[in-house]
Amino acid sequence: MIILLKNKHTLKVDEFNFKCSIGKNGVTTRKIEGDKKTPSGIFKIEHLYYREDRITLPKIDLKCIKIRRKMGWCDDQNYPKKYNKLININDEISHETLFRKDHKYDLLIPIKYNYKKRIPGRGSCIFIHLTKDYEPTAGCVVLSKKDFLIMLRLINKNSQIKIF
């Protein structure tokens, strides 16, 4: 199953068109950390991370990982071995906190951009996650909770996202 970004406001999965938002500065083939752009290409997706205390998951075909308080995603270029990976939160390492007070990361799927051979500074923490207001992002693709839950029923561990 292909998750297709049709344009900066529409994500298509199967026959469903979902309202979405992407990076504030559009799409790029030359992503760099902090540029507020969504990387262009065809990417595999990772597992589903979710807040068990806030979400009841439907039956889906993705590995599901419960978000814990000390989970983070490294965006620190000074730690190349941890860069763009799930980490245990540490005050020395810059990161995105996954266990948040807001609801943005109640459901999230990392996009496998800059993933296999990670290059510090080429972009990290590129997720599909939740939004309530569809404001432009720092590079992620965001959907409403209702649409995200529908999408979860359509995709599987072999799904890819196509962003152009």
Q: Structural domain tally of the chain?
A: 1
pTM: 0.96
Helix (H) or strand (E) holding 132, with range, is none
Q: Count the alpha carbons within 13 Å of 154 in the hemisphere toward its beta carbon.
A: 19
pLDDT in tens, 1-22: 999 999 999 999 999 999 999 9
| Alpha-carbon gap, residue 86 to 41, rounded angstroms | 22
| Alpha-carbon gap, residue 23 to 96, rounded angstroms | 16
| Alpha-carbon gap, residue 143 to 151, rounded angstroms | 10
| Alpha-carbon gap, residue 84 to 34, rounded angstroms | 13
Cα dist. 163→2, 20, 40 in Å? 10, 13, 5
Cα dist. 46→74, 112, 149 in Å? 15, 6, 16
What CATH number does residue 106 fall under?
A: 2.40.440
The 10-13 sheet, strands edge to edge: 16-19, 10-13, 2-7, 160-163, 41-44
pLDDT in tens, 22-31: 999 999 999 9
Tell me which residue range forms the domain holding 132: 2-163
Task: Using the Cα atoms of residue 12, residue 13, residue 19 and residue 24 in order, give the sign of their dihedral.
Answer: negative
Across 142-155, b (16+ Cβ under 10 Å) vs e yields: bbbeebbbbbbeeb
Percent of the chain, pLDDT > 90? 98
pLDDT in tens, 109-151: 999 999 999 999 999 999 999 999 999 999 999 999 999 999 9
Helix (H/G/I), strand (E/B), else coil: 38: strand
Amino acid at 84: N
Please give the mean pLDDT across all residues of the chain. Answer: 97
| Alpha-carbon gap, residue 102 to 108, rounded angstroms | 13
